[in-house]
Amino acid sequence: MKNKKIGLIGILAIGLVTSCKMQQAGDLVKQNFDFASEQLTYALQEIESAKANDDRDSLSKAEKPLVSPRTLDENGKLKLVVSRDWTSGFFPGELWYMYEYTKDPKWEEQARAFTANLEVQKYTKSTHDLGFMMYCSFGNGLRLTNDESYKPILLEAANSLISRYKPNARIIRSWDHNRDKWQCPVIIDNMMNLELLFWATKESGDSTYYNIAVNHANTTIKNHFREDYGTYHVVDYDTITGEVLNRHTHQGYAHESTWARGEAWALYGYTMCYRETKDNTYLDQAHHIADFIFSHPNLPLDLIPYWDFNAPEIPNEPRDVSAAAIIASALYELSTFGGEKAAQYKEQADTIVHNLTLQYRATLNEDGGFLLLHSTGSKPSKSEVDVPLVYADYYFLEALLRKKKNE
């Protein structure tokens, strides 16, 4: 994988963006999708090779087949995951985005194949990540093809998700692990899974899903944000009283720091909640979160954030390209809702996308077939630091599609 001097090029990228903006937006979108078409074709070959080299025993292969790419391991080898992994839905989603842009049936065929691998997860009640897993895959497939067979799968997934709802605390439980540390942990990431519930109410006419989504969003506003609209990663609840027991981090630098991807999830989540409810509380929250991000003194000039806004060795800290891609996609949508900062949001999203294209993109037919480099999964755990991550690629393609629609 290429080793880039991000600190220096981040400054140079600002100047390059000016010339890049001379291109029409469609040119940049086309250039990236042309690149993605070749790179994802290469990725499909790499996936088959990785499956062929799976050295697990035959029973493990049969019971838990590898289905989707997630990242590169410490040796630069492609890492595939089973369908139960929280990232399993992003690669099928990328393929659906390729089909959306190109209308090429080969991408629909691949998208359907990778999506089908996840159907078994519709019954899974041990995770909050069903939105990521099922809505990014089956949800995009339904949106683009109106395949009626996808609807009951998504509704079953929504039922599994709401089984984790705690009515006294008015939240959906996130994790079941670390029970010695937390009674009922809720992570800011969970905002992203609410879109599945909003869809379920529209499809079924049952307001239960909608009400649970709104309750979770409102409780998260109340308890996950500091006065400056920075976010806590993990809030632990007493499920009987609804009381907050503690506010922690798990993937950020410290309990009182702001983990960059968590802030990105918050921006995207409340922008989506406004779209689905038209409740100005959520729109205001999204504006406040955007203000936090773009007024923060530790945000680099190229707008690609460090992995934590308060990481102690800035500027010598890893970036998180996945956070940047999520932010850009959210901003494109947020800009469509009007207001005095609409043009600014679009400009900021454009800058992020241009800089990702110019300085953070992978090498064609290398890097495991991923599109973007320099994401950070969990630096405290020394896991997935400065690597490509599948969800960075997913939200990058989504941002490009939204950019095209917004021009």
Structure confidence by residue, pLDDT tens digits, 79-89: 999 999 999 99
Given 85, 129, 236, 386, the catalytic residue: 129
User: Which residues contact residue 76 at a Cβ distance below 8 angstroms, ignoring those fewer than 6 apart?
Assistant: 1, 368
Work out whether the CA dihedral 258, 278, 87, 315 comes out positive or negative.
negative
Q: Tokens at residue 182, please?
A: 């937390």
Asked if pLDDT for residue 204 goes beyond 80, the answer is yes
Closest CA to 15 of 282, 271, 291, 302: 302
Q: How many domains does the chain have?
A: 1
55 is catalytic: no
Q: Look at residue 117 and tell me if it is in a domain.
A: no
Q: Residue 314: what pLDDT?
A: 98
Closest CA to 182 of 126, 220, 239: 239
How many whole angstroms separate alpha carbon 255 and alpha carbon 65?
37
pLDDT per residue over 87-143, tens digit each?
Answer: 999 999 999 999 999 999 999 999 999 999 999 999 999 999 999 999 999 999 999
What's the mean per-residue pLDDT of the chain?
94
Q: Look at residue 289 and tell me if it is in a domain.
A: yes
Q: Residue 179: what pLDDT?
A: 81
Q: Residue 5: what pLDDT?
A: 40
Read off the pTM. Answer: 0.94
User: Which residues contact residue 383 at a Cβ distance below 8 angstroms, ignoring those fewer than 6 apart?
Assistant: 377
Helix (H) or strand (E) holding 234: strand 234-237
pLDDT per residue over 277-335, tens digit each?
Answer: 999 999 999 999 999 999 999 999 999 999 999 999 999 999 999 999 999 999 999 99
First-to-final CA distance of the chain: 34
Q: Look at residue 128 and tell me if it is in a domain.
A: no
Alpha helices in 4-126 (DSSP H): 6-20, 25-52, 58-63, 90-102, 105-116
Q: Residue 16: what pLDDT?
A: 45
| Angle separating helix axes 342-359 and 390-406, nearest 10 degrees | 130
Q: Look at residue 347 and tell me if it is in a domain.
A: yes
Q: Look at residue 357 and tell me if it is in a domain.
A: yes
Q: Look at residue 222 and tell me if it is in a domain.
A: no
Asked if pLDDT for residue 29 goes beyond 80, the answer is yes
84, with CB counted inside 10 A (0-12, 13-18, 19+), is: middle
Strand pairing of 66-72 and 383-387? unpaired
Question: Cα–Cα distances in Å, from 192 out to 171, 219, 285, 388?
Answer: 13, 15, 15, 21
302 is catalytic: no
233 and 259 Cβ atoms separated by less than 8 Å: yes
Domain containing 308 — which CATH number? 1.50.10.10
- Comparing 20-34, 259-273, 364-378, the range with the smallest average pLDDT is 20-34
Given 189, 236, 308, 367, the catalytic residue: 189
pLDDT per residue over 222-277, tens digit each?
Answer: 999 999 999 999 999 999 999 999 999 999 999 999 999 999 999 999 999 999 99
Q: Which residue range forms the structural domain that includes residue 281?
A: 1-64+259-407
251 and 380 Cβ atoms separated by less than 8 Å: yes
How many whole angstroms separate alpha carbon 105 and alpha carbon 296?
44
Q: Look at residue 206 and tell me if it is in a domain.
A: no
Q: What letter would DSSP give residue 369?
A: G
385 and 377 Cβ atoms separated by less than 8 Å: yes
Residue environment code for 305-315, b if the CB has 16+ CB neighbours within 10 A, otherwise e: bbbbbbbeeee
User: Which residues contact residue 55 at a Cβ distance below 8 angstroms, ignoring those fewer than 6 apart?
Assistant: none
Q: Look at residue 13 and tell me if it is in a domain.
A: yes
Q: Tokens at residue 264, please?
A: 């990105």
43 and 51 Cβ atoms separated by less than 8 Å: no
**C-beta contacts of 341-350 below 8 A and 24+ residues apart:** 341/287, 341/290, 345/290, 346/406, 348/294, 348/303, 349/399, 349/403, 350/21, 350/25, 350/403
Q: Residue 1: what pLDDT?
A: 47
Asked if the bond preceding 315 is cis, omega within 30° of 0, the reply is: yes
